[in-house]
């Protein structure tokens, strides 16, 4: 089978299209013909060597799969050949999704929502699971509460907005002005141009000084240390960004705040919850650009480029959808 192999850590050019053996499913495993995958910040972090101690080279990376079951191993009862499935491969535990076939444990695989294309489904597995774990499992966001989502036009951000609205929360988000319409189209109630206005001042003005119940940090920098400035009492902060430099969190004490650090875990349950929202019409990933498997280097380079013009996710067509490669939506 064809696969994009990472032979050394470094820039986008570090990938090579290779022929590698097709995997075989063992007990409790499912072999999937990959139709689509997508690109996440985690992918370029792995490629450049941020997790080099966990990724032996050469490696097949990638963290989203949407495809069709090709074969099942002994003991598999939930799936049969021909089933359309979606999932996030177990991170740092075997080959990833940048290949024509992938093997995964039955326990982490879900039935793909029928209303989503493979490109859309592959654009939702990791970011959707991350948003669900951050807002539902960790922050316990509730009906009638308010949330500030940083980076609302990004892959995780635009999904988090939709999940928060499905819960029944009021959503504030920071985006560039040219993304105002997009952020509102996925459900944001109040949009703030972080380049033109200090978001702390904007939040306190919009909430009459109360602050928000939850802050969801998808961008890093000083967001974590400034989060207490916009929090209501007993507020919660959730960050998905690994920040190397020390942060001063003393202001969180005065707000009785709780802070959650999230590295998403794989399981079928979150996928089933997301699928329910999709089928209710409350959630749909936005695919901003599509590249082919052979052009993953170009996709990585684009995702890493500031102001790259992509709203939502960059998807990768691996199987029958390859004719859409390198298209902007």
Could you give the count of Cα atoms lying within 13 Å of 188 in the half-sphere of its Cβ? 25
For residue 44, give the H/E element and its range: helix 41-48
How many whole angstroms separate alpha carbon 276 and alpha carbon 117?
16
Last residue of a domain, one of 215, 246, 261: 261
Are 135 and 113 in a shared domain?
no
- For the record, the structure tokens of 222 come out as 């000083």
What is the three-class DSSP state of 227?
helix
Quick check: is 85 in a domain? yes
Are 29 and 60 in a shared domain?
yes
Which mean pLDDT values do the consecutive 10-residue runs of the chain (329 residues) have? Answer: 96 96 97 97 94 95 97 97 96 94 97 97 97 96 98 96 98 96 97 95 97 95 89 96 79 90 86 97 97 96 87 90 46
The 3-state DSSP composition of the chain as helix, strand, coil percent (nearest 5) reads: 35, 25, 40
Are 256 and 157 in a shared domain?
yes
Are 295 and 215 in a shared domain?
no
In the DSSP assignment, the letter for residue 258 is E
Are 144 and 257 in a shared domain?
yes
How many whole angstroms separate alpha carbon 270 and alpha carbon 125?
9
Are 120 and 165 in a shared domain?
no
How many whole angstroms separate alpha carbon 238 and alpha carbon 215?
6
How many whole angstroms separate alpha carbon 150 and alpha carbon 227?
11
Closest CA to 216 of 195, 235, 237, 202: 237
Are 246 and 291 in a shared domain?
no
Quick check: is 268 in a domain? no
Distance of CA 166 to CAs 129, 170, 175, Å? 15, 10, 21
Three-state secondary structure of 127-173: HHHHHHHHHHHHCCCCCCCEEEEECCCCHHHHHHHHHHHHHCCEEEE
Count of domains forming the chain: 2
Q: What are the start-end ranges of the E strands in 190-322?
A: 190-193, 212-217, 231-239, 258-261, 287-292, 313-317
pLDDT at position 320 is 58
CB neighbour burial string for 292-324, b if at least 16 within 10 angstroms, e if fewer:
bbebbbbbbebbeeeeeebbbbbbbbbbebbeb
Give the domain extent around 321.
Answer: 2-124+285-328
Are 90 and 155 in a shared domain?
no
Question: CATH number, domain at 204?
Answer: 3.40.50.720
For the chain, how far is it from start to end, CA to CA, in angstroms? 29
Last residue of a domain, one of 261, 293, 317: 261
Quick check: is 149 in a domain? yes
How many whole angstroms separate alpha carbon 118 and alpha carbon 20?
23
How many whole angstroms separate alpha carbon 178 and alpha carbon 173?
13
Residue 137 backbone zone (phi > 0: left; psi -120 to 50: alpha; other: beta): alpha
- For the record, the structure tokens of 162 come out as 């939709």
pLDDT at position 243 is 75
How many whole angstroms separate alpha carbon 31 and alpha carbon 275?
21
What is the three-class DSSP state of 195?
coil
Are 162 and 255 in a shared domain?
yes
Are 136 and 253 in a shared domain?
yes
Rg of the chain over CA atoms, in angstroms? Answer: 20
Residue 267 backbone zone (phi > 0: left; psi -120 to 50: alpha; other: beta): beta
Are 148 and 222 in a shared domain?
yes
Are 25 and 119 in a shared domain?
yes
Distance of CA 147 to CAs 154, 168, 233, Å? 16, 11, 13
Quick check: is 81 in a domain? yes
């Amino acid at each position: 089978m064809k696969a994009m192999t990472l032979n050394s850590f470094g820039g986008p050019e570090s990938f090579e299209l290779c022929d590698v053996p097709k995997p075989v499913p063992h007990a409790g495993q499912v072999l999937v013909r990959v139709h689509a995958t997508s690109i996440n910040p985690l992918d370029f972090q792995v490629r450049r060597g941020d997790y080099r101690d966990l990724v032996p080279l050469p490696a097949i990376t990638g963290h989203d799969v949407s495809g069709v079951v090709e074969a099942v191993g002994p003991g598999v009862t939930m799936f049969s050949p021909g089933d359309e499935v979606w999932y996030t491969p177990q991170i740092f535990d075997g080959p990833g999704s940048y290949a024509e076939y992938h093997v995964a444990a039955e326990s982490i695989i879900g039935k793909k929502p029928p209303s989503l294309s493979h490109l859309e489904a592959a654009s939702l597995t990791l970011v959707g699971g991350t948003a669900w774990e951050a807002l539902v499992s960790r922050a316990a966001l509730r009906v009638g509460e308010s949330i500030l989502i940083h980076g609302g036009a990004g892959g995780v951000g635009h999904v988090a907005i939709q999940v928060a609205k499905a819960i029944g929360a009021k959503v504030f988000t920071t985006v560039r002005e040219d993304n105002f319409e997009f952020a509102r189209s996925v459900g944001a109630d109040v949009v703030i141009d972080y380049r033109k206005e200090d978001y702390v001042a904007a939040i306190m003005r919009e909430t009459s000084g109360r602050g928000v119940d939850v802050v969801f940090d998808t961008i890093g920098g000083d967001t974590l240390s400034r989060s207490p400035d916009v929090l209501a009492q007993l507020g919660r902060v959730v960050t998905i960004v690994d920040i190397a430099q020390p942060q001063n969190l003393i202001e969180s004490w005065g707000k009785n705040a709780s802070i959650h650090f999230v590295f998403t875990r794989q399981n079928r349950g979150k996928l089933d919850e997301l699928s329910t929202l999709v089928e209710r019409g409350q959630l749909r990933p936005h695919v901003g650009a599509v590249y082919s498997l052979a052009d993953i280097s170009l996709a990585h380079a684009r995702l890493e480029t500031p102001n790259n013009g992509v709203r939502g996710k960059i998807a990768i067509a691996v199987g029958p959808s390859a004719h859409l490669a390198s298209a902007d939506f």
